[in-house]
Amino acid sequence: MDLKKINSSLQMSSVETPHMETISHLPSSMDLLIQDSPNSFTSPRRKLLPASIEERTMKKEDTVQGKKQKIKTVFSQTQLYVLNDRFQRQKYLSLQQMQELANILKLSYKQFKTWFQNQRMKCMRCQKNNCPKNSNSVTQNSSATTEYTGFYSYHWGYLMNTFGNLPKWRNQTWNSQSWSNHSWNSRNN
DNA sequence: TTTCCATTCCGA
DNA sequence: TCGGAATGGAAA
């Protein structure tokens, strides 16, 4: 994978992030680059639709013959790697963190939030069932790691500023959950 | 608004 | 068929 390409597209994306809530209206260059990487999924996928189109397609009211139409996003290896890495360190993110990381990953805030929610559920279920921990779908994928390294090194200043320093916690999520004090498990006991 | 939770339903 | 992204509802 060409990190330069990623980086340049990331550079663009991080600079021009006109809207937070949803999705870039651009053809999501990073997605295209990453998801097309030989290492992720090679088969042609229609989920490569620009997210904005997807959103439009799956508006609540949109139905196909009375059925709700969903479009299932398939996240790229790199996106999953970053998401998992973040999740392992922090189960709950602030609104700002979610928005910013979502922007970096070229995901919508909603997608990002949903992923974290689903991960938490998965994690809880797993623990209830005493699953061997770390059931991450993307654990040590070498190429994802490589991309991720470049990705993070490029964004490191930004990420550190955004996350590492835990800037201003806009909402009470983190505090109320007190994740710094109690483990993930404590909720389920 | 956020969360959890059950559920739906797409894509591999 | 199954994993998991997305949805919707209830509660805080």
The pLDDT of residue A119: 94
Whole-model pTM?
0.60
Q: What's the CA–C1' distance between A45 and C11, in Å?
A: 39
Is A69 (CB) below 7 Å from strand C?
no
- Give the separation between CA A115 and CA A176, rounded to whole angstroms: 21
Q: Give the number of other Cβ atoms within 10 Å of residue A135's Cβ.
A: 11
**A122 or A50, higher pLDDT:** A122
**pLDDT tens-digit readout, A3-61:** 333 333 333 333 333 333 333 333 333 433 333 333 332 332 333 333 333 333 333 33
Q: What is the DSSP string of A110-165?
A: HHHHHHHHHHHHHHHHHHHTTPPS---SSS--HHHHHHHHHHHHHHHHHHIIIIIT
* Average pLDDT, rounded, for chain A: 57
What's the rounded mean pLDDT across residues A119-127? 88
Percent of all residues in chain A with a pLDDT value above 70, rounded to a whole number: 33
Is A70 (CB) below 7 Å from strand C?
yes
Is A75 (CB) below 7 Å from strand C?
yes
Is A122 (CB) below 7 Å from strand C?
yes
Listed in sequence order, the residues at least 6 apart from A178 whose beta carbon sits closer than 8 Å to its beta carbon are: none
Q: What's the CA–C1' distance between A157 and B8, in Å?
A: 40
Is A115 (CB) below 7 Å from strand C?
yes
Q: What's the CA–C1' distance between A21 and C7, in Å?
A: 18
